[in-house]
Amino acid sequence: MLKKLFLAIVSLFVLCAPGHAELKVDIVAGEVNPISIAVQKVETEGKIAKSDAEMVRTVVENDLKSTGLFRIIARDALPEFVKLNDMPDFNLWHAIKAQVLVQSKMTQQKNGMYKLEFYVWDLNSKEQIEAQSLAASKKSIRRMAHLMADAIYERLTGEVGYFDTQIVFIAETGDVANRVKRMAIMDQDGYGMRYLSDKNTFVMSPRFSPNMRTIVFLSYRDDKPMIWTLDLDTGAQRRLGEFGGMNFAPRFSPDGTKIAMSLVQGGDTHIFEYNINTKELRQLTYGHSLNTSPSYSPDGTQLAFNSDKTGSQQIHIMDLTTGDEERITFGAGRYATPAWSPDGQFIAFTKIADDTFYIGIMGPDGKREKILAGGWYMEAPSWAPGSRRLVYYETEKSEDGQDRMSHLRSVDITGQNLYDIELPDGVNGVEPTWSPKLQ
């Protein structure tokens, strides 16, 4: 089921030392001057459909444009077409103030595989700063385009790319009073959505394993809310265990050997950690309180979660070795759904204050709080690889108040460049989780 089965990288080479090029985009600043980049049409050799070549170019352009860090130069403004092994006429490109040129060529090989070669030029320094060659089956050409965009993004920003990723979420259809909830998966740009569960099983809270082979989720079967796993390679599902009482909000540890979750026992809700290998269950929180939404730090030594043990819903951090806890949020309102960034520098959260929901980020010490978005109802932030962007969902009321529309939205850590991820007509999206990079 995973796209990783269909693509192989056949070579990777850089023609110029990275230290020679000085073109870099500042991805931290709130106001960014986008890099002007020209993506040429894809050269073809052999029996390559024009639609496939055009699709590669369009996907690369859309990926880079979506970041807000690049300005794609209009195709009709390109002053020349430069074949893959030819030198650009730098004067022509300087005249239109282009900073980067991307050349590419797609070839059908004798074994039926498709090879995609691409070069990246820093036009100001007149250097070729990146060159790669990828190979894939025909059905994975689109993924090659995402990998190409990742390579360009990483070369120009120094950050981890996130275009060759997927998002799992709950797809809601039907009338607001009788919504059907199904688990679905798609590429990060909304392409290729497909269902992973049937319409007869109520599911919630899907989360990827670190190796992308498994999804853990909450499923109501026989009116019992329990944690299940789905094998993405085989489609097999199995119940995690019989823990007694309601269990929910599962999340994998960074090494994939444990799953943190909330269990309701005796009227209290506490966080437990389940060891997948030993089948042992360890209780992490205690007392008469509600503790949920666990999220591991990237090194697996700490756990962020929300708890009402101090009187209102706030975010706490636990040291998993000592069991010591610390409350880190003290701002006005309630805090929930913490999500630790992959680089460990931020914790994303949902905040509820003054009848408004907000998505924000802060340091692991609770300081440097920054609100990224706000609205009538929004929740469930999840990080892209590289810790540059977040996905979350926002629910809006119709004008007559009789309907609810839920959208999946993405925003960067500056609070800029917010956009909707397009879903099929009639599909509402909630509870998204961004995958690690595909393998």
Q: What pLDDT does residue 201 have?
A: 86
Is the pLDDT at 24 greater than 80? The verdict is no
Residues of the chain above pLDDT 70, percent: 92
What tens digit of pLDDT does each residue of 382-412 get?
A: 999 999 999 999 999 877 666 789 999 999 9
Please state the rounded mean pLDDT for residues 233-250. Answer: 87
Is residue 81 pLDDT above 60, yes or no? yes
Average pLDDT over residues 366-379: 96
CB-CB contact of 269 with 248 (8 Å): no
Say which amino acid occupies 212.
Answer: M
Three-state DSSP class for 305? strand
Query: Is the predicted pLDDT of residue 10 greater than 60, yes or no?
Result: no
Write down the pLDDT at residue 7: 44
Contact yes or no for 169/429 (Cβ under 8 A) = yes
45, β-bridge pairs = 107
Long-range contacts, stretch 318-324, CB < 8 angstroms, 24+ apart:
318/284, 318/285, 320/273, 320/284, 323/284
More confident residue, 9 or 99: 99
**89/269 Cα distance (integer angstroms):** 66
Q: What is the mean pLDDT of residues 84-99?
A: 96
**Is 227:259 a contact under the CB 8 Å cutoff?**
yes
Residue 15 is predicted with a pLDDT of 36
Q: Average pLDDT, whole number, for the chain?
A: 90
- pLDDT tens digits, one per residue of 108-158: 988 889 999 999 999 999 999 999 999 999 999 999 999 999 999 999 999
So what's the pLDDT on residue 246?
A: 82
Averaged pLDDT, 337-341: 98
> Predicted confidence band at 244 (pLDDT cuts at 50, 70, 90)?
confident
Q: Which residue has the tokens 């042992």?
A: 280
Domains detected in the chain: 3-157 (3.40.50.10070), 166-434 (2.120.10.30)
Q: pLDDT band at residue 25, thresholds of 50, 70 and 90?
A: low
**294 falls in which pLDDT band (50, 70, 90)?**
very high
Q: What are phi and psi of 63, to 5 degrees?
A: -60, -50
Q: Are strands 370-375 and 114-122 parallel, antiparallel or unpaired?
A: unpaired
Q: What is the pLDDT of residue 324?
A: 96
Question: Other C-beta atoms within 10 Å of 199: how many?
Answer: 12
3-state secondary structure of 273: strand
- pLDDT at position 401 is 67
CA nearest 278: which of 330, 329, 324, 241? 241
Given a cut of 90, whether residue 280 has pLDDT beyond it is yes
- With 60 as the cut, is the pLDDT of residue 420 above it? yes
Task: Determine the 3-state secondary structure of 177 from DSSP.
Answer: helix
Paired with 130 in beta bridges are: 120
Find the farthest-apart pair of alpha carbons in the chain and give their distance in angstroms, rounded.
Answer: 75
CB 39 within 8 A of CB 60: yes
- The structure tokens 């850089």 sit at 14
Provide the 10 A C-beta neighbour count for residue 80. Answer: 11
